[in-house]
Amino acid sequence: MDKYYWDIFYKKKSAVNFPSPFAEFCIKNYIKRGSKILELGSGNGRDAIYFSKKQNHVIAIDQSIESFSFIDKAPNHTTSPMRIESINNDFIKYDYMQHVGVNIVYSRFTLHAISIEEEQMVLDKTFQLLSSGGRFLIEARTTKDSLYGVGEHLGGHAYYTDHYRRFIDTKSFIKSTISIGFDVEYFIESQGLSVFNGQDPMLMRIVLSKP
Protein backbone atom coordinates (compact mmCIF):
# COMPACT_ATOMS: atom_id res chain seq x y z
CA MET A 1 0.00 0.00 0.00
CA ASP A 2 1.06 3.61 -0.61
CA LYS A 3 1.93 4.62 2.96
CA TYR A 4 3.64 7.85 1.87
CA TYR A 5 0.63 8.95 -0.21
CA TRP A 6 -1.81 8.37 2.65
CA ASP A 7 0.46 10.03 5.25
CA ILE A 8 0.43 13.19 3.11
CA PHE A 9 -3.32 12.88 2.47
CA TYR A 10 -4.23 12.68 6.15
CA LYS A 11 -1.62 15.23 7.21
CA LYS A 12 -3.50 17.76 5.07
CA LYS A 13 -6.61 16.93 7.12
CA SER A 14 -8.57 16.87 3.87
CA ALA A 15 -10.68 13.79 4.57
CA VAL A 16 -14.35 14.15 5.48
CA ASN A 17 -15.45 13.44 9.05
CA PHE A 18 -18.95 12.03 8.54
CA PRO A 19 -19.67 8.29 8.12
CA SER A 20 -19.61 6.72 4.68
CA PRO A 21 -22.85 5.51 3.08
CA PHE A 22 -21.46 1.97 3.35
CA ALA A 23 -21.01 2.29 7.11
CA GLU A 24 -24.61 3.48 7.45
CA PHE A 25 -25.78 0.60 5.24
CA CYS A 26 -23.90 -1.90 7.42
CA ILE A 27 -25.27 -0.49 10.69
CA LYS A 28 -28.80 -0.62 9.32
CA ASN A 29 -28.59 -4.16 7.99
CA TYR A 30 -25.68 -6.20 9.33
CA ILE A 31 -24.02 -4.81 12.48
CA LYS A 32 -25.87 -5.45 15.72
CA ARG A 33 -25.26 -3.19 18.71
CA GLY A 34 -22.48 -4.56 20.89
CA SER A 35 -20.49 -6.03 18.00
CA LYS A 36 -16.72 -6.30 18.07
CA ILE A 37 -15.49 -4.86 14.78
CA LEU A 38 -12.06 -5.14 13.18
CA GLU A 39 -11.65 -2.39 10.57
CA LEU A 40 -8.96 -2.99 7.95
CA GLY A 41 -7.51 0.34 6.83
CA SER A 42 -9.50 2.71 9.01
CA GLY A 43 -8.25 5.91 7.35
CA ASN A 44 -9.21 8.99 9.34
CA GLY A 45 -11.56 6.94 11.52
CA ARG A 46 -14.79 8.36 10.13
CA ASP A 47 -16.48 4.94 10.13
CA ALA A 48 -14.75 3.67 13.28
CA ILE A 49 -16.05 6.69 15.22
CA TYR A 50 -19.53 6.17 13.79
CA PHE A 51 -19.53 2.47 14.73
CA SER A 52 -18.36 3.22 18.25
CA LYS A 53 -21.06 5.86 18.72
CA LYS A 54 -23.53 3.08 17.89
CA GLN A 55 -22.15 1.25 20.94
CA ASN A 56 -19.79 -1.17 19.24
CA HIS A 57 -16.18 -1.98 20.13
CA VAL A 58 -13.92 -1.07 17.19
CA ILE A 59 -10.35 -2.14 16.53
CA ALA A 60 -9.11 0.31 13.89
CA ILE A 61 -5.98 -0.69 11.98
CA ASP A 62 -4.14 1.67 9.64
CA GLN A 63 -0.50 1.97 8.59
CA SER A 64 -0.62 5.78 8.43
CA ILE A 65 0.13 7.29 11.83
CA GLU A 66 -1.24 10.60 10.54
CA SER A 67 -4.71 9.10 10.18
CA PHE A 68 -5.12 8.57 13.91
CA SER A 69 -5.00 12.28 14.70
CA PHE A 70 -8.70 12.37 13.78
CA ILE A 71 -9.63 9.57 16.18
CA ASP A 72 -7.47 11.03 18.94
CA LYS A 73 -9.40 14.29 18.76
CA ALA A 74 -12.82 12.62 18.81
CA PRO A 75 -14.65 13.42 22.09
CA ASN A 76 -14.31 10.66 24.69
CA HIS A 77 -13.03 8.19 22.11
CA THR A 78 -11.59 5.88 24.77
CA THR A 79 -14.69 5.67 26.95
CA SER A 80 -18.12 4.14 26.63
CA PRO A 81 -20.04 4.31 24.35
CA MET A 82 -17.03 5.23 22.16
CA ARG A 83 -14.65 2.30 22.31
CA ILE A 84 -11.89 2.43 19.72
CA GLU A 85 -8.54 0.68 19.79
CA SER A 86 -6.19 2.41 17.35
CA ILE A 87 -3.49 0.15 15.93
CA ASN A 88 -0.78 1.63 13.71
CA ASN A 89 0.09 -1.36 11.54
CA ASP A 90 -0.20 -2.89 8.08
CA PHE A 91 -3.47 -4.82 8.02
CA ILE A 92 -2.05 -7.22 5.44
CA LYS A 93 0.70 -8.46 7.78
CA TYR A 94 -1.07 -7.92 11.09
CA ASP A 95 -1.99 -10.94 13.25
CA TYR A 96 -5.79 -10.87 13.42
CA MET A 97 -5.87 -13.73 15.91
CA GLN A 98 -4.86 -11.27 18.63
CA HIS A 99 -8.52 -10.26 18.57
CA VAL A 100 -10.45 -13.48 19.00
CA GLY A 101 -14.10 -12.60 19.56
CA VAL A 102 -14.35 -10.22 16.62
CA ASN A 103 -17.64 -10.95 14.84
CA ILE A 104 -17.40 -8.26 12.13
CA VAL A 105 -14.46 -7.50 9.83
CA TYR A 106 -14.98 -4.29 7.85
CA SER A 107 -13.15 -3.15 4.73
CA ARG A 108 -14.11 -0.04 2.78
CA PHE A 109 -11.93 1.05 -0.15
CA THR A 110 -9.02 -1.06 1.09
CA LEU A 111 -9.10 -4.33 -0.87
CA HIS A 112 -8.62 -2.42 -4.12
CA ALA A 113 -5.51 -0.84 -2.58
CA ILE A 114 -3.62 -4.14 -2.26
CA SER A 115 -2.39 -6.84 -4.63
CA ILE A 116 -4.40 -9.96 -5.41
CA GLU A 117 -1.88 -12.05 -3.44
CA GLU A 118 -2.35 -9.78 -0.42
CA GLU A 119 -6.10 -9.95 -0.89
CA GLN A 120 -5.91 -13.73 -0.61
CA MET A 121 -3.93 -13.42 2.63
CA VAL A 122 -6.56 -11.08 4.09
CA LEU A 123 -9.42 -13.39 3.10
CA ASP A 124 -7.69 -16.41 4.62
CA LYS A 125 -6.88 -14.61 7.89
CA THR A 126 -10.39 -13.19 8.16
CA PHE A 127 -11.98 -16.60 7.67
CA GLN A 128 -9.67 -18.03 10.34
CA LEU A 129 -10.54 -15.24 12.79
CA LEU A 130 -14.32 -15.29 12.48
CA SER A 131 -16.50 -17.77 14.29
CA SER A 132 -19.67 -19.22 12.76
CA GLY A 133 -22.06 -16.39 11.92
CA GLY A 134 -19.30 -13.79 11.69
CA ARG A 135 -19.33 -11.42 8.73
CA PHE A 136 -16.81 -9.77 6.41
CA LEU A 137 -18.28 -6.50 5.04
CA ILE A 138 -16.54 -5.15 1.94
CA GLU A 139 -16.89 -2.19 -0.43
CA ALA A 140 -14.35 -1.72 -3.26
CA ARG A 141 -13.94 -0.48 -6.82
CA THR A 142 -14.45 -2.98 -9.61
CA THR A 143 -13.18 -3.46 -13.15
CA LYS A 144 -16.30 -1.67 -14.42
CA ASP A 145 -15.23 1.59 -12.77
CA SER A 146 -14.48 4.59 -15.01
CA LEU A 147 -10.93 4.82 -13.65
CA TYR A 148 -10.13 1.30 -14.81
CA GLY A 149 -7.36 1.51 -17.39
CA VAL A 150 -6.24 5.00 -16.32
CA GLY A 151 -2.58 5.47 -15.43
CA GLU A 152 0.43 3.18 -15.57
CA HIS A 153 -0.55 -0.45 -16.03
CA LEU A 154 1.12 -2.60 -13.39
CA GLY A 155 -0.21 -5.93 -14.60
CA GLY A 156 -3.52 -7.69 -14.10
CA HIS A 157 -6.18 -5.21 -13.02
CA ALA A 158 -3.75 -2.85 -11.25
CA TYR A 159 -2.93 0.72 -12.29
CA TYR A 160 -0.97 3.59 -10.80
CA THR A 161 -2.05 7.25 -11.03
CA ASP A 162 -1.18 9.32 -7.95
CA HIS A 163 -1.49 6.07 -5.97
CA TYR A 164 -2.01 2.34 -6.50
CA ARG A 165 -5.39 0.85 -7.36
CA ARG A 166 -6.28 -2.73 -8.26
CA PHE A 167 -9.81 -3.04 -9.54
CA ILE A 168 -11.79 -6.07 -8.40
CA ASP A 169 -13.04 -8.64 -10.90
CA THR A 170 -16.22 -9.53 -9.04
CA LYS A 171 -16.76 -12.97 -10.59
CA SER A 172 -13.23 -14.07 -9.70
CA PHE A 173 -13.52 -12.53 -6.25
CA ILE A 174 -16.75 -14.31 -5.41
CA LYS A 175 -15.34 -17.60 -6.68
CA SER A 176 -12.29 -17.13 -4.44
CA THR A 177 -14.33 -16.36 -1.34
CA ILE A 178 -16.56 -19.39 -1.84
CA SER A 179 -13.53 -21.65 -2.30
CA ILE A 180 -12.23 -20.47 1.09
CA GLY A 181 -15.53 -21.39 2.72
CA PHE A 182 -17.47 -18.12 2.93
CA ASP A 183 -21.14 -17.82 2.05
CA VAL A 184 -22.18 -14.77 0.00
CA GLU A 185 -24.99 -13.23 2.03
CA TYR A 186 -25.36 -10.08 -0.09
CA PHE A 187 -23.83 -8.72 -3.29
CA ILE A 188 -24.35 -5.71 -5.53
CA GLU A 189 -22.18 -4.05 -8.17
CA SER A 190 -23.41 -0.57 -8.96
CA GLN A 191 -22.84 3.14 -9.15
CA GLY A 192 -24.75 5.44 -6.82
CA LEU A 193 -23.39 3.80 -3.68
CA SER A 194 -20.80 6.43 -2.75
CA VAL A 195 -21.34 9.67 -4.64
CA PHE A 196 -19.05 12.49 -3.50
CA ASN A 197 -17.74 15.70 -5.07
CA GLY A 198 -19.10 14.74 -8.49
CA GLN A 199 -17.50 11.29 -8.40
CA ASP A 200 -19.67 8.18 -8.66
CA PRO A 201 -17.45 5.08 -8.68
CA MET A 202 -18.58 1.63 -9.76
CA LEU A 203 -18.42 -0.39 -6.56
CA MET A 204 -19.15 -3.81 -5.24
CA ARG A 205 -20.75 -4.24 -1.87
CA ILE A 206 -20.47 -7.75 -0.60
CA VAL A 207 -21.33 -9.38 2.72
CA LEU A 208 -19.51 -12.65 3.37
CA SER A 209 -20.56 -14.84 6.26
CA LYS A 210 -18.84 -17.79 7.86
CA PRO A 211 -21.12 -20.83 8.10
Question: Three-state SS for 165?
Answer: strand
Residue, of 5 and 204, whose pLDDT is higher = 204
What is the CATH code of the structural domain delimited by 3-209? 3.40.50.150
Residue 18: per-residue pLDDT: 85
Condensed to tens digits (0 to 9), the pLDDT of residues 2-52 reads: 554 544 555 555 556 789 999 999 999 999 999 999 999 998 888 999 999
Q: How much is the pLDDT for 172?
A: 98
% of the chain residues with pLDDT over 70? 84
Residue 29: the pLDDT is: 98
What mean pLDDT value characterizes the chain?
89
pLDDT at 154: 96
Give the pLDDT confidence score for residue 83 in this predicted structure. Answer: 84
pLDDT band at 65 (very low <50, low <70, confident <90, very high): low
Q: What is the pTM of this model?
A: 0.89
Q: What is the mean pLDDT of residues 164-193?
A: 98
Residue spans per domain, the chain: 3-209
Residue 171 makes CB contacts below 8 A (sequence gap 6+) with: none
Mean pLDDT (whole number) for 133-150: 97
Q: What is the pLDDT of residue 6?
A: 45
Coil, helix or strand at residue 9: helix
Compute the CA torsion angle 134, 138, 143, 149 (nearest 10 deg).
-140
pLDDT confidence bin for 104, thresholds 50/70/90: very high
pLDDT value at position 73? 57
For the chain, counts of helices (H) and of strands (E): 6, 10
Closest among 198, 206, 6 to 105, alpha carbons compared: 206
